[in-house]
């Protein structure tokens, strides 16, 4: 009855991080640490849970036999026992480097009431009793580790308990006779209780603690393409600063799983202890996600007019509208400090959109006639024909974390095709290399890590090959930038809003969040509900 709070407390503690690990342990992709404040929260949580559990706990019956003077040997049963009062004098939850977690309850008091029954031959007597147990002390030491699958393990390496005094008051038929022998009854009950306490602690570690810890996600499927591996990268370490646990934090393909060709960078957490718990998410976690989606072909896009029409749902999504409202310039602003190239790009975009009669709230049309002002020969060679674009990154694009900033510099190949009439296939027109610099804002809520896009620079285009002769790529930049701002970026932004989940146990939420970007990792401090 007194063991259940310990498995809750330890499971809470396993929301933890790494500072120093065994030699040879790979750098983790996700780490966390619980501080002294978190430890105090765990202690209070365990204490409150213990009191709540004891208020509804029904104790097992006690039975036995003993001799009462001239009455001889009689059989007794204490049944229907419930806890009336529990006084917790002192509870502690402490971390011991190199040893583990120690939980202790000292000098506590418990009052139990129930029914008694005594049988002697054909005579049965019964009544009620009150049992008071004073000076209860329990000390439990737990060792934390991990199994071969990367799941956390906990074992009870030491348990000791003692009881100072047990007193019994009996009422009912001839209770005055039984009260004469209360010392013998008390001496009989005391060792039974002392034996049961540690027995229940060890049993709970096996039957309750381990199953609860298995609720920590070891792998979690994100979508139909990818999952994330949250298994432990090393055994939890107890330090003077807190409980530190490393998680692998690596994305993998749902239908395949190949080794990652790059390592996670080292993480050095700042010495902060204002919150209960701190998390660090390495750029490694995000870059393994990029690698998985790139290998799955999810970063290759064929864009046709029908796809643009399908994107209307994304374009009109609330998050996409908000993004355009915040980031799209309604008109060209001029000042003495505005670069000439920026002004030229802005005014050329506005001019071309006007000439091509493209409304600001409607995606561009992939049609040869739409590009006559940019590539005159295109409309002459292929009059009134649809176009399609194939886009793919040259390699899996990676995020780079530097203090206060997250940058993303994708380099894309864009190949244009004309769709020949009468289903005669398509013909390659030209191939362009596009590069840009994108900044990503990272946000964290109570259960997920989410993000949003901002453009660090406009798309820069380079003509790699052309089957229709030379054309002015600078003018095309304006069209592609328009399309990127109105469709690609808002769509990616809507996807980033979905986010990825934090590895939290059931019904655990974070508040009072503190968020920072450091070299190689995101840093989050939080309190736990």
Give 353-400 pLDDT, tens digit per residue. Answer: 444 444 444 556 788 888 887 888 998 999 999 999 999 998 998 989
* Over residues 487-501, mean pLDDT: 77
Closest CA to 490 of 438, 431, 432, 446: 438
Q: Has residue 83 got a pLDDT over 70? A: yes
Q: Which two tokens stand for residue 302?
A: 């064929």
Give every CB contact of residue 56 below 8 A, 6+ residues apart in sequence: none
Query: How high is the pLDDT of residue 20?
Result: 35
Reduce the DSSP state of residue 216 to 3 states and report it.
Answer: coil
| Radius of gyration of the chain from its Cα atoms, rounded to whole angstroms | 35
Region label for 507, one of left (φ > 0), alpha (ψ between -120 and 50) or beta (otherwise): left
* Over residues 486-496, mean pLDDT: 76
pTM over 0.85: no
Reduce the DSSP state of residue 490 to 3 states and report it.
Answer: helix
Q: List for the chain the helix, strand, coil content (%; round to 5).
A: 30, 40, 30
CA atoms within 13 Å, Cβ hemisphere of 521? 21
CA–CA distance, 342 with 360 (Å, rounded to integer): 19
Region label for 98, one of left (φ > 0), alpha (ψ between -120 and 50) or beta (otherwise): left
Give every CB contact of residue 183 below 8 A, 6+ residues apart in sequence: none
Query: How high is the pLDDT of residue 265?
Result: 93
Q: Has residue 175 got a pLDDT over 80? A: no
* Over residues 448-464, mean pLDDT: 81
Q: Which two tokens stand for residue 68?
A: 């009462």
Average pLDDT, the chain: 77
Spell out the alpha helix ranges (H) of 261-408: 283-295, 305-310, 312-315, 318-327, 340-355, 376-381
Decide: 345 and 334 in contact? Cβ < 8 Å: no
Closest CA to 215 of 505, 448, 13, 14: 505
CA–CA distance, 293 with 249 (Å, rounded to integer): 16
Of 258-262, 287-291, 312-316, 356-360, least confident by mean pLDDT is 356-360
Q: Cβ atoms within 10 A of the Cβ of 315, count?
A: 19
Name the percent of the chain lying above pLDDT 90: 14
Q: Has residue 4 got a pLDDT over 50? A: no
pLDDT band per the 50, 70, 90 thresholds, residue 178 = low
CA terminus-to-terminus distance, the chain: 25
Q: In what order do the strands lie in the sheet with 237-238?
A: 237-238, 243-247, 30-34, 277-282, 521-528, 510-518
Give 57-74 pLDDT, tens digit per residue. Answer: 667 777 777 665 656 677
Torsion of CA 45, 158, 23, 521, to 10 degrees: 0
CA–CA distance, 198 with 158 (Å, rounded to integer): 9
Residue 317's alpha-carbon distances to 231, 323, 406, in angstroms, are: 35, 10, 25
CA–CA distance, 252 with 150 (Å, rounded to integer): 16
Q: Has residue 15 got a pLDDT over 60? A: no
Reduce the DSSP state of residue 45 to 3 states and report it.
Answer: helix
Q: Has residue 429 got a pLDDT over 90? A: yes
Burial (CB count <10 Å: 0-12, 13-18, 19+), residue 10: buried
Decide: 31 and 18 in contact? Cβ < 8 Å: yes
CA–CA distance, 154 with 150 (Å, rounded to integer): 13
Query: How high is the pLDDT of residue 520?
Result: 93
Decide: 342 and 517 in contact? Cβ < 8 Å: no
Region label for 357, one of left (φ > 0), alpha (ψ between -120 and 50) or beta (otherwise): left
Task: Identify any residues that bridge with 390 across adjacent strands, giving them in sequence order.
Answer: 302, 415
Give 201-227 pLDDT, tens digit per residue. Answer: 787 777 777 777 777 678 888 889 999
Give every CB contact of residue 347 below 8 A, 6+ residues apart in sequence: 332
Task: Identify any residues that bridge with 285 across adjacent strands, giving them in sequence order.
Answer: none
Give every CB contact of residue 268 below 8 A, 6+ residues apart in sequence: none
């Amino acid at each position: 009855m007194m063991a259940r709070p310990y498995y809750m407390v330890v499971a809470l503690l396993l929301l933890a991080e790494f500072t120093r690990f065994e030699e040879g342990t790979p750098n983790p992709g996700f780490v966390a640490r619980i501080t002294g404040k978190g430890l105090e929260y765990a202690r209070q949580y365990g204490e409150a849970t213990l009191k709540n559990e004891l208020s509804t706990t029904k104790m097992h019956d006690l039975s036995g036999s003993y001799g009462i003077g001239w009455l001889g040997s009689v059989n007794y049963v204490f049944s229907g026992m419930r806890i009336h009062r529990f006084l917790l004098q002192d509870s502690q939850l402490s971390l011991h480097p190199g040893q583990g977690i120690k939980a202790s309850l000292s000098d506590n008091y418990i009052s139990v009431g129930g029914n008694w029954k005594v049988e002697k031959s054909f005579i049965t007597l019964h009544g009620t009793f009150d049992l008071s147990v004073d000076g209860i002390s329990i000390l439990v030491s737990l060792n934390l580790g991990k199994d071969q699958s990367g799941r956390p393990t906990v074992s009870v390496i030491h348990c000791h308990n003692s009881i100072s005094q047990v007193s019994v008051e009996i009422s009912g038929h001839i209770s005055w006779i039984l009260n004469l022998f209360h010392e013998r009854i008390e001496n009989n009950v005391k060792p039974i209780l002392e034996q049961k306490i540690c027995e229940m602690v060890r049993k709970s570690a096996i039957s309750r603690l381990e199953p609860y810890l298995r609720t920590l996600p070891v792998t979690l499927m994100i979508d139909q393409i990818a999952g994330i591996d949250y298994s432990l990268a090393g055994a939890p370490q107890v330090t003077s600063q807190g409980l530190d646990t490393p998680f692998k934090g690596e994305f993998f393909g749902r239908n395949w799983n190949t080794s990652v060709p790059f390592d996670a960078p080292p993480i050095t957490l700042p010495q902060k202890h204002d919150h209960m718990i701190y998390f660090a998410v390495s750029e490694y976690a995000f870059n393994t996600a990029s690698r998985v989606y790139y290998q799955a072909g999810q970063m290759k896009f064929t864009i046709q007019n029908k796809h643009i029409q399908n994107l209307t749902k994304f374009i009109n999504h609330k998050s996409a509208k908000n993004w355009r409202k915040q980031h799209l310039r309604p008109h060209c602003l001029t000042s003495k400090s505005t670069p000439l190239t920026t002004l030229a790009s802005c005014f050329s975009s506005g001019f071309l959109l006007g000439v091509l009669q493209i409304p600001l709230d409607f995606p561009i049309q992939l049609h040869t006639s739409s590009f006559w002002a940019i590539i005159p020969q295109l409309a002459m060679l292929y009059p009134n024909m649809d176009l399609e674009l194939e886009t793919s990154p040259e390699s899996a694009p990676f995020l780079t974390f530097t203090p206060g900033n997250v940058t993303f510099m994708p380099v894309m190949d864009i190949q244009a095709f004309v769709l020949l009439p009468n289903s005669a296939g398509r013909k390659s027109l030209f191939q362009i290399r596009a590069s840009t610099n994108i900044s990503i804002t990272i946000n964290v809520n109570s259960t997920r890590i989410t993000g949003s896009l901002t453009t660090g620079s406009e798309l820069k285009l380079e003509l790699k090959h052309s089957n229709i002769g030379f054309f002015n790529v600078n003018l095309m930049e304006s069209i592609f930038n328009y399309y990127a701002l109105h469709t690609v970026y808002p769509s990616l932004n809507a996807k980033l809003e979905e986010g990825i989940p934090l590895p939290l146990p059931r019904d655990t939420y974070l508040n009072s969040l503190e968020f920072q970007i450091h070299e190689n990792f995101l840093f989050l401090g939080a309190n736990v509900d």
